[in-house]
């Protein structure tokens, strides 16, 4: 017996449409085969539950209303608490506002539009004592005064052998340090020239 025929037999039995002889055989099969009896019972329950149109309509109505009252579903184990999202949004908003407002407030303070002189900036005008206070003076173009080099040292002279030192190192080597390198920074036109000698300790 194929599945379609089996289904039709079960439905015919439940509807009371099986002939008497077939019904006896059907019930005999149910008595002998528990699985078959369970299948027939399931067909009967499905028919009873899903065939009750009033009940089906009521359950559908409850399902529809339940959808109106279903809040947010429970977050999964790895879900982030929505409060953290709100906190992050507030922080981003504050940062954005600060960034947006900061340049305008600083420009209000500096009415000349000039940036204040750097702390280590060389003195532009010896007659101007305080450029930050006297903004009018700062606005005026100031000619950079470069002091005339007096006794300008020759940078290359640092690499020239010093007879005195040469004599000392040859005759009496330093017990603690060796000269590793020498370097020269600066240019001939610049007033600031720096020489350095780096030592390292002897092992």
φ/ψ (deg, to 5) at 180 = -95, -50
Nearer to another protein, 34 or 150 (CB): 34
Q: Is 57 in the site for another protein (CB under 8 A)?
A: yes
CB contact at 8 A, 114 and 138: yes
Nearest CA to 117 out of 127, 128, 132, 105 is that of 132
Using alpha carbons, select from 183, 166, 184, 182 the residue that is nearest to residue 174: 166
Does residue 74 touch another protein according to CB under 8 A? yes
82 is a contact residue toward another protein (CB under 8 A): no
DSSP assignment of 77-143 equals TTPPPHHHHHHHHHHHHHHHHHHHHHHHHHHHH-TT-PPPPPTTPPPS-TT-S-TTT-HHHHHS---
The C-alpha atoms of residue 171 and residue 49 are separated, in whole angstroms, by 115
Task: Supply the minimum distance, in Å, between the C-beta of residue 23 and another protein.
Answer: 19
| CA–CA separation, 122 and 135 (whole Å) | 17
Verify binding: residue 104, another protein, rule CB under 8 A.
no
38 binds another protein (CB under 8 A): yes
Least distance from another protein to the Cβ atom of residue 56, Å:
8
**Backbone dihedral angles phi then psi of residue 181, each to the nearest 5 degrees:** -155, 160
> What is the size of the binding site for another protein (CB under 8 A)?
35
Closer Cβ to another protein, 38 or 94, answer by number: 38
Q: Applying CB under 8 A, which part among 68-76, 93-101, 109-117, 146-154 lies near another protein?
A: 68-76
Least distance CB 31 / another protein (angstroms):
15
Instruction: From 18-26, 70-78, 150-158, 162-170, give the range in contact with another protein by CB under 8 A.
Output: 70-78
Shortest distance, position 52 Cβ to another protein, whole Å: 8
Residues interacting with another protein, by CB under 8 A?
3-4, 7-8, 15, 34-36, 38-39, 42-43, 45-47, 49-51, 53, 55-59, 61-63, 65-66, 68-71, 73-74
């Amino acid at each position: 017996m194929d599945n379609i025929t089996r289904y039709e037999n079960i439905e015919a039995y439940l509807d009371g449409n099986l002939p008497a002889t077939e019904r006896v055989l059907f019930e005999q099969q149910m008595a002998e085969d528990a699985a078959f009896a369970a299948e027939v019972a399931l067909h009967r329950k499905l028919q009873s539950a899903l065939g009750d149109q009033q009940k089906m309509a009521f359950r559908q109505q409850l399902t529809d209303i339940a959808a109106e009252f279903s809040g947010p579903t429970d977050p999964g184990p790895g879900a982030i608490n929505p409060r953290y999202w709100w906190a992050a949004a507030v922080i981003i908003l504050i940062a954005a506002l600060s960034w947006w407002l900061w340049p305008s407030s600083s420009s209000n303070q500096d009415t000349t539009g000039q940036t204040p002189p750097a702390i280590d900036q060389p003195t532009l005008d010896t007659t101007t004592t305080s450029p930050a206070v006297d903004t009018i003076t700062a606005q005026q173009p100031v000619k950079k005064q470069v002091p005339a080099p007096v006794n300008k040292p020759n940078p290359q002279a640092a690499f020239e052998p010093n007879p005195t030192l040469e004599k000392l190192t040859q005759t009496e080597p330093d017990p603690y340090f060796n000269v590793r390198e020498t370097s020269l920074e600066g240019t001939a036109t610049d007033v600031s020239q720096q020489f350095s000698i780096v030592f390292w300790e002897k092992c």
